[in-house]
With several copies, the nearest count.
Chain A
């Protein structure tokens, strides 16, 4: 598959999965909070395009896109949202805690900023064992307010760890704009001051993100190049949590969204493909999605006894 085809398949798949989640949500089959990435897909897709299957990724409660882009199992994800025993966390995690160890998709946490040091610690292990792997660490602009962000970057810089930090800057933490939280909205400068080279990509172009991420990742693999910081500007189309829109709330104008909606990366990349290739991709994805929702639908809920398992990992 060409890079464009690969990227389009990812973009389309994530967009459509989330649209389906939004569509079924009002029927209450998903009885837990969902934070959709609609509009932001190209960031995760571009970043993961630079990764190898054996690389690791850490995300947030808004990680449907990252999970899928990194190769997480779709059936297990939808089943997890439905709270089913076949979910990626057996129904014990939910949308905010997606995990797929086989795909290298680790920890997604509901507490902002908390997985940043996990990525750094994982990278420490990778470097100690001299493995030619990298770790992708994705978080929002809100996370860059938190102290743990600085502590983690400082340590990654000090130990020259193979971490690709990626800030998905959609300008908002819930309903609060970055300018109401940071005097200087220069997140790259913060990373640079700690000794981490950094760069901002303004338009969420997945090819540009992939290219920059690949260069950074390949440079740090197995060596001493140390971490890199990418700030990817993007925009959340839906409400902070839930399936709807929220322009009526008044904290932002629809006009702010419009350039992003017009510049939609899913449509842009679609336009790069020959129509038949595009159709083939879309058809396959639609079938996969239908299968995943059907799988989730018919999977059983966990047994009551499952309440008590997994608190501790029992000795083998």
Chain B
């Protein structure tokens, strides 16, 4: 039986569609979910199928609408709340951190808040200061929230289904540049639950952990590294909270070298957590060398040259990994290769 192919967009859409068919308590809303662009197609067809009661656009009110989602959940619904930019979640932090994350605990287990919050990270085409942030470390920081950052169509669908079925608040981190990516996409519903990172390429010299879209860069970096005889193991954590520290540590126990590539800032970021958790775990067992890569420690500039410098790329990741392996600044930077360039995103948005 040949596997079906589909895009990341297809995975997200199908997950919500199938869960809404299965479970009448699932509802989906957010700014523009029902507009002609349907969140880049990820909510296409839902309103036609399930009606305006279960699928609806909202006023601009990130704070209250997050609270509305929580109230729905308290009443037994399973809301999927969609945001076109993760940056806008900064308006919803009070509801997410002070309420959603804490309700189960502070009400002594008598309630649960099964909400799913989808949000997109933008990159390239001059998204600029306020349309480019990967702020998921904020959600990892707080006990009571789960965080998924799937990197391929299969996991987009599986994580979304797992998120909807989870009895706890789950943040779905979706990188806009992954949306057109295609890959195997099984038709029948399935869950990709938290707990297990995935090894995507095996190698004994260095472990590359790539978060969200940074994983795609790590996979390209792995090919650059192979060209110079460095064997990189590439790991996709898939879920950031709970995080599979053991899985990552097992790889690092083998390679002794860890490069964490994040799609956000490094200071107090996911890369700081992964690096320190792995080092705490392996200390006394294995001498480990580590490198964190992420956004430049600046605001994201829209002008193309600076924007390119702002992000780690396959080439800068490969260079950093090789330096770590050789234990010195080699000065090497791989040449561009035609088969390792991201499909360019072209505007207006």
Contacts and interface: CB of A to CB of B under 8 A. Distances in A.
Direct contact of A and B (CB under 8 A): yes
Interface of A: 25, 28, 31-34, 56, 58, 83-84, 87-94, 96-97, 99-101, 106-107, 109-126, 128, 142-143, 145-148, 151-152, 154-155, 158, 173-176, 180-182, 239, 241-243, 249-251, 301-302, 304, 306-315
Contacts, number: 268
A143 B206 CA distance: 49
Interface residues of B, number: 77
Contact of A122 (B74, B98, B106, B146): B74
Nearest to A61: B130
A148 B64 contact: yes
B60 A99 contact: no
B88 to A, nearest CB: 7
Contacts of A239: 348
Interface in B48-88: 53-54, 57-61, 63-77, 79, 87-88
Contacts of B299: 92, 311
Contacts of A311: 104-105, 143-144, 297-299
Contacts of B66: 117
A84 B108 CA distance: 11
A244 B14 CA distance: 31
A83 B303 contact: yes
A304 B112 CA distance: 22
Interface of B is mostly: loop
B212 interface: no
Residue of B64, B109, B112 with highest tally of chain A CB at under 10 A: B64
A109 B61 contact: no
Residue of B58, B166, B296 with highest tally of chain A CB at under 10 A: B58
Interface string B24-64: 00010001100111000000000000000110011111011
6 contacts: A93-B128, A99-B111, A116-B67, A145-B59, A239-B348, A311-B299
Contacts of A110: 128-131
Nearest to B143: A311
B108 A90 contact: yes
A83 B167 CA distance: 26
A176 B167 CA distance: 32
A147 B61 contact: yes
A175 B349 CA distance: 15
B60 A83 contact: no
B305 interface: yes
B108 A89 contact: yes
Contact of B67 (A120, A142, A310, A313): A120
A249 B36 CA distance: 6
